[in-house]
Structures are given as C-alpha cells and as structure tokens.
Amino acid sequence: MKHYLILPAILLCLANAWATTWYVGPSRTYTFCSQVAPLVADGDSILIDAAVYDNDPQVQWKKNNLYIAGIGGRPRLQAGSSIANDFSNGKGIFVTQGSGIHIHNIEFANARVPDNNGAGIRQEGANLLVTRCKFDGNEMGILGGNIANCKVTVEYCEFVNGGSVFNPGYQHNIYINHIDTLVFRYNYSHNSIAQGHEFKSRATYNFILYNRIANEDSEDSRTIDIPNGGVSVIMGNVIEQGPNSANNNILGYGLEGLSNPGSQELYCINNTFINKKDRGSFIQVQDNTDVLMVWNNIMAGITTGGLINGTPALLDTAYNWVNTDLDVFGFADQAHYDYHLLSGSGAIDRGVDSGLQLFGYALSPSLMYQDTCGYDPRIIEGAVDIGAFEYNTPLKTNDPTNAALVIWPNPAQEVIHIQPGTSTEEKLFLNIYSSDGRLMVQEHGTGSDYTVDVSQWPAGMYVVTLKSRENIRTGRVVVH
C-alpha cells in the first residue's frame, strides 16, 4: 500500500521536472507571446519581461495547467490592427483554450475585434485563475464562455473603461457566461463605458467578496448584474453608482429570468452602496427569487425608484442604514470615494453577525477592501459595524503592549508559533483567517505562546489577530 501512496507524488515530481519555462521579451529569443504559444506543452511556464508589446496577433493557449506571468514589473499587451482586423477568428489578446491556466501580473489593453467583443482574456477552457492583472480599455476585460464544471477565480485585478461605443450596452468590464462557480475578490472594477456593466455574471454560484465595484464618472449601466439568478454572496464590497450612469438601479438579480439550476438566493452582507445619481434604486430582483437577505449594509443616496424592487419568496432585511444624504454617514471623504468610517459615525457597532455559513463561507465579514486591489483584516471591536469598513480605535503608539506579533517560522509547513510580543497576564483571543475569509482557528486563554498545526492547511496567506480587552495585534503568515 505504501508504494501506491507514494506513486502520485513521484509522478508529480517527474511532471514538474519535464516542464519547460519559456521567456518572452524584447531582448529574448521570443519577442512576442504568439511566437511561444504553439511551442508550449502541458504544465509549462511562460514568463514575460516588463515592456510594452504592441500589435501582437491573437494568442491561443491550447495546453493545460499553464502559468503565464509578467516578471520584472507588469508587461502591457497592447492590441492593435492585427487583432482588430482579424475577421477569421478575432476574439481578443489571449484566448485560453486549455484548462487550469493561471495568468498573473499582466496588463491587457485596447482589445477590439469585428464583432465588438474584443477581450483581454477570452476564456474557452475550464478552471481559469487570474491574479494581479489590469484590463484597460478593452471591449471586454474578461469574457468567459459557457463551460460545464468550471470555476473561475479573479483576484487583485483592476478593470477600467470596458465597453464598446459601436455596440453600447453589450460589452462590460468583466462578463462571465454560464459556468459553475465564479469567485471575484479584492478587485477594483470601475468606469465601464458605453452603458456597459462593471460586473456581469451568469455563473450558477457567485462569491463577490471585498471588492470596489464603482462607477465614478463614466456612462455605465448597472454596477453589478447577475441576470440569471443562482446563489450569490455579495459581501464586504464598495458598490457605487455615479452621476452619469445610464441605468437607475445599482444591483440587478435574475432580471433576464431565473434560469440557473437549483435555488435562487441572493445574500448582500456588509456592503457600502453609494448612489450619486439624482434618481434610482439600489437592489432589483426578479419576482419569486427564493431568498433575498440584506443585512448590515449602508445604502446611501437617492431612492426615487425604491430601495429594493421585486417580490422574493423570502425577504430578510435587518440592520441596514438607509439615508438619502451621504453626509450623515460619517464617511472619511466621500467626495474622493473614501467610505471608511470616522469615529463619530452612526454605523459603528450597529450591525449584527448573521451567524450563518454558505458553502463554507461565513456570512460575516473578516476582511475589508484596500485600494488598490488588496485587503486588510477586519478587526471587530464590540458589535460589527454596518457597511464594508470597520472602525477601529486608534492604538496608543506609546503603549508597549501594542507590540507586533511574533510568528515563526514564516513561511511555515508544519506548525506555527504565535507570541504576543510582550508578556501579559490578561485574557487573549486568537483568530486566524484564510485569504478567502474562512475562520481557521479561534482560541482564547492567557498563554504567552500559541502553537498551531498548519500541516493540512491549503497553501496561501493567513491573517492572524490577537485581541485583548484594549489592544489588537495583527500579523500575517504564509503556509506552503
């Protein structure tokens, strides 16, 4: 039996040994991605030097489990006439036909094609991961196809100025068609043009977590559109409609028919909704949506069209703060899009933890969006605050008990040791969260050294918080 258990690891090591790393750059053997794409094999890596790559033809990535990344900075792939005039198969800058592809740290710009659906990334293979990329001025930032048994994850990415003036209303910053699951977190999608959406997804399951999804001053349509229902969790986001939006409602759900399989449920938890238009509504759902849960949200701005439109079978709203005057909320600087809370805000300690979980996601926020395309840990003092941000009492800088946590080893593989940084006799509360907000550890005691077994945890970064009655210490640890 032991031989059979070891065999998969041996095969994985052999596969990694045979994989090839390809380099693309102005001074490399291959100066464009289109020259490398026909040569790669499953599991290869393609590393692109930071530079501007102008007018490369469309690149089709047909192999599986590729890692395609910018190095030495973020390369800009700038579409030109070779893609715009491709009448045979014009789709965009990258077409991902293989499965399990990871694209990291690349900028995609100006994709235009004859049918006006020119994408930075056109997804045709299953299970795509996109991290720390930027999509600037494409007709579509990411355009996902209809793919069974598919998960798309988009993290730490910026989308801006997506849309087409030649086909207004049908192109968007990101548009995911019928797949199983979309995870969209720590992103900044803003200023879609020509009546496009900042976010549109037909996925059966959507987890939209800790993003800034906003129209500041362009003529967009809805900020978020989930046209075919399904199960969607929208939590910890800043969601803003600007004064020039062509649509009057900010979030639409099921408005093209509740055709996704299974239950039709929408959960909006601890978001900050902003309407800077002189009319409009906030949430519109298709009648007979199974569940609409709206908890702990700030809903600021005009509601001439109503706050929530549609008649769900179950409507659960609680602890939301609604007001037409943005000045009453105690935002740090709403004129410049900073919706953090000031010390006197009425949103502080006014929310309630739902206590619910859905598919392993706690329906209570553990993180906060951080500009640009990042997050901070959300440290709850007392009751949870309403909205996307938690107000934390400033720590006394001259207080030695506020010393940083000591976490070692870091990175870790087997166990980690956590020390408060100074000796203490008071009761401490230890929480550790994964990057997607899952609570991994919750302990309390008066010990000066916590030992945590991380050997079975997925690789990634984890947020550690250690709280006493008056102080909060935070740190981060990488597990690999």
Q: Express each pLDDT in 403-418 by its tens digit.
A: 567 887 888 888 898 8
Main-chain dihedrals φ then ψ at residue 10, nearest 5 degrees: -65, -45
pLDDT of residue 394: 81
Q: HSE on the CB side for 168, CA within 13 Å?
A: 11
- Mean pLDDT of the 65-69 span: 97
CB-CB contact of 165 with 223 (8 Å): no
- Bridge partners (DSSP) of residue 435 are none
pLDDT of residue 448: 62
CA angle (408, 411, 413) in 5-degree steps: 95
Question: In which band, very low, low, confident or very high, does the pLDDT at 37 lie, cut at 50, 70 and 90?
Answer: very high
| Cα–Cα distances in angstroms (integers) from residue 115 to residues 87, 90, 138, 303, in the given order | 9, 8, 13, 37
For 124, other C-beta atoms within 10 Å of its C-beta total: 19
pTM of the model: 0.83
| Cα–Cα distances in angstroms (integers) from residue 202 to residues 122, 237, 260, 431, in the given order | 16, 19, 8, 35
Q: What number does CATH give the domain 400-479?
A: 2.60.40.3080
Q: For residues 288 and 311, what is the distance between their CA atoms, to the nearest angstrom?
A: 6
Q: For residues 285 and 287, what is the distance between their CA atoms, to the nearest angstrom?
A: 6
pLDDT of residue 429: 79
What tokens appear for 135 in the block?
């999509």
- Mean pLDDT of the 54-81 span: 97
**If DSSP codes are grouped into helix, strand and coil, which group holds residue 83?**
helix
Q: For residues 430 and 343, what is the distance between their CA atoms, to the nearest angstrom?
A: 25
Question: In which band, very low, low, confident or very high, does the pLDDT at 464 lie, cut at 50, 70 and 90?
Answer: confident
Summarised one tens digit per residue, pLDDT across range 205-230 is 999 999 999 999 999 999 999 999 99
- Bridge partners (DSSP) of residue 224 are 199, 251
Buried b (16+ CB within 10 A) or exposed e, 345-376: bebbebbebbeeebeebbbbbbbbbeeebbbe
Choose the most confident range, by mean pLDDT, from 357-366, 395-404, 434-443.
357-366
Parse the chain into domains and list their residue ranges.
400-479
Residue 74 has pLDDT above 60, yes or no: yes
Question: In which band, very low, low, confident or very high, does the pLDDT at 422 lie, cut at 50, 70 and 90?
Answer: low
pLDDT of residue 1: 36
- Residue 6 burial (CB < 10 Å; 0-12/13-18/19+)? exposed
- Mean pLDDT of the 101-127 span: 98
Residue 396 has pLDDT above 70, yes or no: no
- Mean pLDDT of the 340-360 span: 95
- Residue 389 burial (CB < 10 Å; 0-12/13-18/19+)? buried
Residue 13 has pLDDT above 90, yes or no: no
Which of residues 363 and 403 earns the better pLDDT score? 363
Which of residues 223 and 459 earns the better pLDDT score? 223
100 secondary structure, DSSP code: S
| Cα–Cα distances in angstroms (integers) from residue 60 to residues 19, 36, 94, 173, in the given order | 19, 10, 6, 21
Residues 6+ apart with CB under 8 A from 289: 229, 253, 254, 258, 264, 265, 266, 310, 312, 313
Residue 7 has pLDDT above 60, yes or no: no
Q: For residues 270 and 253, what is the distance between their CA atoms, to the nearest angstrom?
A: 18
CB-CB contact of 305 with 271 (8 Å): no
Which of residues 426 and 438 earns the better pLDDT score? 438
Q: HSE on the CB side for 409, CA within 13 Å?
A: 9
287 secondary structure, DSSP code: T
- Bridge partners (DSSP) of residue 189 are 159, 213
